Chain A
Amino acid sequence: MSAPEPGPGGAPEERPDADARILGAGLYAPRARLPSAAVADAWGRSAARGVESVAVPAPDEDALTMAVAAAERALEAAGVDAASLSGLAFATTTPPMAEEDLTPRLGDALGVPADATTRYAGRSTRAGTRALRAARDAGAFPAVVVAADAPGGAPNSPEGHAAGAGAAAVVLGADRGSGAGLHGDSEVATDYPGTRFRRPASDEVEGLGVTTYDRAAFTRPVAAAVDGLASDPDVPDPGDAAAVAISAPDGDLPGRAARAAGLDPGRVTTPVSTLGDTGAAGPLLGVARALQEGATRTLVVGWGSGAGADALLVDGLAPVEGSLDAGDDVGYTDALRLRGDLTADEAPAGGGAAVSVATWRRSIAARYRLRAGRCPACGALAFPPEGACPDCHALVDFDSVALPREGRVETVTGVSPGGAPPEFARQAERGGDYPVAIVAFERDGGRVSLPMQVCDATPGSVAAADTVRAVFRRVYEQEGVVRYGRKARPVAVDER
C-alpha cells in the first residue's frame, strides 16, 4: 500500500463528530498456512487469483473460537473491560451450528453482560459490515463487533483453493472522543443470482464461474456504494482514503472493484494474499490491518453475494492487537487432514465421556472464563469452584474470582491419536499428537491448577515451567452440541 495520508490530528475533543468511534481493534488468524504453491503441486495450478497462502484452522478452531480470540485482542487494545460492554455484534457465514444464535456463547466467553444489546449477521460475506453498521446503529456503547469466517470449497475449485480463515474485531465507542471515527453509511443491492452461494446443509461455497458476470456482480455494487458514500457531504472524501478494506473472495476482485470506484488498487489492506478468502471477516481484517499500519483514513466496503454492498469510512487511528504475519507452512495433505477432509465425521465407537449438556452448562463460567472460587473461610482458591474448600475443607459457597489468563505448566505429557479418548480421537487424527498439561494459575498469592490440553503445539515443544495462555477452543462435540472451553496455548505461539 502507499504511505498513509494525514488524518485528523489534535486532541480527541477537537476531532469531528462521527457516528461512532473505533477504540481498538484485534486480529486473529490460525497458525497453519497452506502455500498456493502446494495447491498447485497437487492440482497442477492454483485457481485462487492473488493468493500466496491460505490460513487453515486447527481442528479445534471454528468461527466462534476465532471470534473470541480477535475480540479479546480488540478489548485489550482498546483498554475496555468486557464486563462494561453494552453492545455485541457477531458476523460469520460459517457458524459452527447451522441454527443457533452464537452471540450468547460469544458473550459468555468474553464476559459480556447478559443484558447487552446483541446483533448477529450471517448468510453473506456482507455480514461483517452489516454487523458493524448494526452495532453502530444500536448505539449501545461500548460495543464489540466481531467478524470471523472459515469458508470452504470443493478441493479443486477456485473457492476451495482460496478458502482461508481469520477473524477481526473492533471495539466501538461513542461518537466523540478518542479513536478512529466511523463515518457515513451507504448501501446498494442489485440482484445478481449465482455468483457465490452455498446449498442448504453444505459446507462448500460454489460459484458458476461466469467470469465477466461475476466481476460485474462484485464491482458494480461496490462502486455504487462508494459513490453513495462520496456523495454524503458529512463524510470525508473516500477518494482520499489511504487504505481500502474490502471483501476479498480472491486477490483479484478487490483490486478491480477499487479501480472501478476510482481508487488505487494498491491500497487494499484486506490480507487475502496471506490468509486467503476470509469471507465476512475480510473488511474488518482490512480495517484492523490498516489501523495497524498507520493508515489514517480507510474506506470500508462489504460485498455480499446476492449481490449487495455497503460502504463506510474510518477516519483516524486506534490501537491494534494481534499479528497476521507469522504462520507455519503446511503441506497439502496436512491441510486436508487439518480440515477434516480425510477423516470420518462421526465419533468413533465407544462413545464419549458422559458429561451432560446440563452439567457442562453449570460449569461454563469456569470453562469459558476461568472463574475460580475463593473460600470465604480461609481464603484458599478452588478450581472448579464447587464442593468443599480444598484447604480448610469447609463446605462453603465460594466467592467467584477470575483467574489470570497466563499460567505456568507444572507437568505435561503427550497424547497420540491412538491413545486419545474417543471423544478426542477425530481431533487427534486431524491435528496429530497433542500435549496435555497441568497448568498453575496464581491470583493474589493463591494458586490453583487445571488440566489443560495444549493447542497449537507438539508434545515435545512444551515443558514444565513454560508460560501458556488460556484460549477459547472447541473441546469436543457430543449429541450434536459443540462443547467449548479454555485450552492452553504457549505464549511463544500466541504472541507471534
Chain B
Amino acid sequence: MTDAYIVGAGQSSFGSFPEETYRTLFREAYEAAAPADLDPGDVDEAFVGTLGVGGRQIGLAGPVVTEHVGLHGVPCTRVENACAASGYALRQAVMAVESGMADLVLAGGVEVMTDTSAEATKYWLGVSGETEWERMAGTTFSGVYAQMADAYLREYDAPRRAMSEVAAKNHANGAKNPKAHLGFECSVDDAEAASVVADPLTLYHCCPTTDGAAAVFVASEEVAASFDDRVRVAGVGAASDRVGLFQRDTYTAVEASERAGETAYDAAGVADPRTDLDFAEVHDCFAIAELLAYEDLGFCDRGEAAALVGDGVTAIDGDLPVNTSGGLKSKGHPIGATGAGQAVEAFDQLTGNAGDRQLDDPERGLTHNVGGSGGAAVVHVFEAEGVSGA
C-alpha cells in the first residue's frame, strides 16, 4: 500500500458571485489547484462533493463539473454527506490511491448557495438534518446547534462570550485571507451584541451562506515524486452517528468527530494532538461547533474549550492555531466545497504558501469536517515534506 500525497490544492474565492455558476467556480478551483506540470490525461479518478447546487439537486453533479474542466472520460463520483461532502470526497481519493486503484485523483467540491431566495435556501439547508422529526419540530440548522450550545453552556457553566471569542478570532484570521467571504474583523463585543439568530447564538456565531469551490489532487508516492509540492496524508478517520441530535447520547459532544479523530490520530501516530499538531482547521459552522471540536479532537478536556480560546491557545499566534483560514465563519461555508477548502488551507500552510497568515514552519496539521450536526465527520492529518514518517 502506498502513502497518499496532496500535490496540488486550490480554491475559488468564497463569497457571493451572481455572475458565476457551479461550473465556473469549479474551474477556478481546479485551475488554482492544478500543479504547473499536471497532465489532465494522468488523472485516474475524481470525487466531487456537493449537497445539491443551490437546492437544484441535479443528477450527475460530479461529471458535470469534471467534463467542464476537461477531464473527459474520468470515472467521477458525486459524494454527498451534507457539509462533510468534500471531506469525504478527499477520503475517497486517499482510499483510491492507497489501495492502488489510482495514482492521481481529483477530490473537490462545489456549492452555489446565494442565488436562491432566503426561504428556498432555508428549505434546502434543512434537508441536511433529520427531516422527519427534527425538522418537523420546526428547527433549522441554527436551531439544532443552538440546542447544543444551550446544553453546553449550562452543563459546563461556560460563558456565551466564549463563542464570541471564537467568532472574533476567526474573523481576524479571515481578514488576512484574500479568498475569504467575510474578510473583515469583528470584535468580541460586536459578536455579543449582534442580533440573536437562535438563542444563544447571535448572527456572528453563525457562518454565512456562500458560493465557492475547492479542489485537491491526491497522488501516490511514486507519482507525487514528480511534483514540486507534496504534503503527506498521514492519517484519515471518519465516523457516522445518529443524524438527529435527539437520538444521541450527548448534546455536548459530537461523537462522530471524536471517533474520526481517534482513527486519524492512530494512523498518523499523533499521541497528543495539543503538542503533536501545529494547527487545525475545524468545522465551525456555528461557534459552538468549534468549541465542541476542541474537546472532541482532544485539544483540551471536556468543559475546557472556553478557556482554550479565552487563553489565546487557538489564536494564530497561540500554541495550537485553529482556523487560520478564517474557518467557515469568516472564509465561508459553501457546503460541498468546505472539506476540500480546509485541505487547501492545510496544504498552503504546510508548503509555506499561506500568505499573511502563514505559520512559522508548521509540520503537521489537521482538518475536521462535519456533516449536518454530527451525523458524519471526517478528520485528516497532514504532514509537511521531510517530517518523520514521510
Chain A interface (Cβ < 8 Å from any Cβ of B): 348-355, 359, 363, 383-384, 390, 410-416, 418-422, 424-425, 427-428, 434, 436-438, 449-453, 459-460, 464, 475-476, 483, 485
- Looking at the complex, which one of A349, A350, A418, A436 makes contact with B137 (CB distance below 8 Å)? A436
Nearest CB in chain A: distance from B86 CB, A = 24
Contact A419 B143 (CB under 8 A): yes
Contact A451 B245 (CB under 8 A): yes
Is B132 interfacial (CB-CB < 8 Å)? Answer: yes
What CA separation (Å) do A355 and B126 show in the bound complex?
Answer: 12
- Looking at the complex, which one of A359, A384, A421, A434 makes contact with B126 (CB distance below 8 Å)? A421
What CA separation (Å) do A350 and B136 show in the bound complex?
Answer: 16
Is B150 interfacial (CB-CB < 8 Å)? Answer: yes
Contact B139 A414 (CB under 8 A): no
What CA separation (Å) do A351 and B120 show in the bound complex?
Answer: 7
Contact A422 B251 (CB under 8 A): no
Is B142 interfacial (CB-CB < 8 Å)? Answer: yes
10 CB contacts below 8 A, A to B, read A350-B122, A350-B124, A355-B131, A415-B143, A416-B197, A418-B118, A436-B137, A438-B246, A464-B150, A464-B151
Contact B139 A451 (CB under 8 A): yes
- Looking at the complex, which one of B127, B146, B150, B242 makes contact with A353 (CB distance below 8 Å)? B127
What CA separation (Å) do A452 and B147 show in the bound complex?
Answer: 12
Nearest CB in chain B: distance from A7 CB, A = 47
Is B59 interfacial (CB-CB < 8 Å)? Answer: no
14 new A-B pairs (CB below 8 Å) besides A349-B119, A412-B150?
A350-B116, A354-B131, A359-B132, A411-B151, A411-B251, A413-B150, A415-B198, A419-B142, A421-B135, A421-B139, A451-B133, A451-B134, A460-B199, A464-B150
Chain B interface (Cβ < 8 Å from any Cβ of A): 55, 116-124, 126-127, 130-140, 142-143, 146-151, 154, 196-201, 242, 244-247, 251
Contact B138 A410 (CB under 8 A): no
What CA separation (Å) do A308 and B119 show in the bound complex?
Answer: 50
Nearest CB in chain A: distance from B57 CB, A = 11
Residues in B with CB closer than 8 Å to A384 are 132-133
Contact B123 A353 (CB under 8 A): yes
What CA separation (Å) do A421 and B200 show in the bound complex?
Answer: 19
Residues in A with CB closer than 8 Å to B198 are 413-416, 419
Contact A415 B151 (CB under 8 A): no
Nearest neighbor of B195 in chain A, beta-carbon distance: A416
Contact B148 A411 (CB under 8 A): yes
- Looking at the complex, which one of A353, A410, A451, A464 makes contact with B244 (CB distance below 8 Å)? A451
Contact A349 B120 (CB under 8 A): yes
- Looking at the complex, which one of B124, B147, B196, B247 makes contact with A412 (CB distance below 8 Å)? B147
Residues in A with CB closer than 8 Å to B201 are 413
Contact B137 A449 (CB under 8 A): no
Residues in B with CB closer than 8 Å to A450 are 133, 137, 246
What CA separation (Å) do A422 and B154 show in the bound complex?
Answer: 30
Contact B246 A350 (CB under 8 A): no
Contact A411 B126 (CB under 8 A): no
Nearest neighbor of B131 in chain A, beta-carbon distance: A353
Contact B150 A350 (CB under 8 A): no
Nearest CB in chain B: distance from A175 CB, A = 45
Q: Top 5 closest A-B pairs, CB basis?
A: A413-B146, A350-B120, A350-B123, A350-B119, A451-B137
- Looking at the complex, which one of B127, B134, B136 makes contact with A475 (CB distance below 8 Å)? B136
Contact A419 B140 (CB under 8 A): yes
A349-B117, A422-B123, A464-B154 known; A415+B133 contact, CB < 8 A: no
- Looking at the complex, which one of A350, A363, A411 makes contact with B121 (CB distance below 8 Å)? A350
Nearest neighbor of A460 in chain B, beta-carbon distance: B199
What CA separation (Å) do A420 and B119 show in the bound complex?
Answer: 9
Nearest CB in chain B: distance from A387 CB, A = 9
Nearest CB in chain A: distance from B340 CB, A = 27
SS of A interface (majority): mixed
Contact B136 A355 (CB under 8 A): yes
Residues in B with CB closer than 8 Å to A451 are 130, 133-134, 137, 139, 244-246
Residues in B with CB closer than 8 Å to A353 are 123, 126-127, 131, 135-136
Residues in B with CB closer than 8 Å to A427 are 138
- Looking at the complex, which one of A348, A352, A355 makes contact with B132 (CB distance below 8 Å)? A355
Nearest CB in chain A: distance from B292 CB, A = 14
What CA separation (Å) do A485 and B124 show in the bound complex?
Answer: 23
Contact A411 B150 (CB under 8 A): yes
Contact B199 A459 (CB under 8 A): yes
- Looking at the complex, which one of B123, B147, B244, B245 makes contact with A351 (CB distance below 8 Å)? B123
Nearest CB in chain A: distance from B112 CB, A = 16
Nearest CB in chain B: distance from A331 CB, A = 24
What CA separation (Å) do A416 and B140 show in the bound complex?
Answer: 11
Contact B123 A419 (CB under 8 A): no
Residues in B with CB closer than 8 Å to A350 are 55, 116-117, 119-124
Nearest neighbor of A391 in chain B, beta-carbon distance: B249
A419-B143, A438-B251, A451-B137 known; A352+B131 contact, CB < 8 A: no
Residue of A363, A419, A476 contacting most chain B CB atoms (<10 Å): A419
Residues in B with CB closer than 8 Å to A428 are 138
Nearest neighbor of A487 in chain B, beta-carbon distance: B137
Nearest neighbor of A352 in chain B, beta-carbon distance: B123
Contact A436 B143 (CB under 8 A): yes
Residue of A354, A390, A413, A434 contacting most chain B CB atoms (<10 Å): A413
What CA separation (Å) do A359 and B131 show in the bound complex?
Answer: 12
Residues in A with CB closer than 8 Å to B140 are 415, 419-421
Residue of A418, A421, A425, A485 contacting most chain B CB atoms (<10 Å): A421
Residue of B120, B138, B140, B142 contacting most chain A CB atoms (<10 Å): B138
- Looking at the complex, which one of A390, A419, A483, A485 makes contact with B247 (CB distance below 8 Å)? A390
Residues in A with CB closer than 8 Å to B132 are 355, 359, 363, 384
A355-B132, A363-B132 known; A415+B123 contact, CB < 8 A: no
- Looking at the complex, which one of A414, A422, A483 makes contact with B199 (CB distance below 8 Å)? A414
Residues in B with CB closer than 8 Å to A351 are 120, 123
Residues in B with CB closer than 8 Å to A459 are 199
Residues in A with CB closer than 8 Å to B245 are 438, 451
A355-B136, A413-B199 known; A348+B119 contact, CB < 8 A: yes
Nearest neighbor of B134 in chain A, beta-carbon distance: A451
Residues in B with CB closer than 8 Å to A425 are 119
Contact B139 A436 (CB under 8 A): yes
Residues in B with CB closer than 8 Å to A415 are 138-140, 143, 198
Residues in B with CB closer than 8 Å to A419 are 122, 140, 142-143, 197-198
Residues in A with CB closer than 8 Å to B251 are 410-411, 438
A350-B117, A415-B139 known; A410+B197 contact, CB < 8 A: no
Nearest CB in chain A: distance from B252 CB, A = 9
What CA separation (Å) do A414 and B146 show in the bound complex?
Answer: 8
Residues in A with CB closer than 8 Å to B154 are 411, 464
What CA separation (Å) do A411 and B201 show in the bound complex?
Answer: 14
Nearest neighbor of A362 in chain B, beta-carbon distance: B132
Residues in B with CB closer than 8 Å to A453 are 137-138
Residues in A with CB closer than 8 Å to B149 are 413
What CA separation (Å) do A359 and B136 show in the bound complex?
Answer: 13
Residues in A with CB closer than 8 Å to B197 are 416, 419
Nearest neighbor of A347 in chain B, beta-carbon distance: B119
Nearest neighbor of B137 in chain A, beta-carbon distance: A451
Nearest CB in chain A: distance from B291 CB, A = 15
Residues in A with CB closer than 8 Å to B131 are 353-355
What CA separation (Å) do A355 and B55 show in the bound complex?
Answer: 16
Nearest neighbor of B245 in chain A, beta-carbon distance: A438
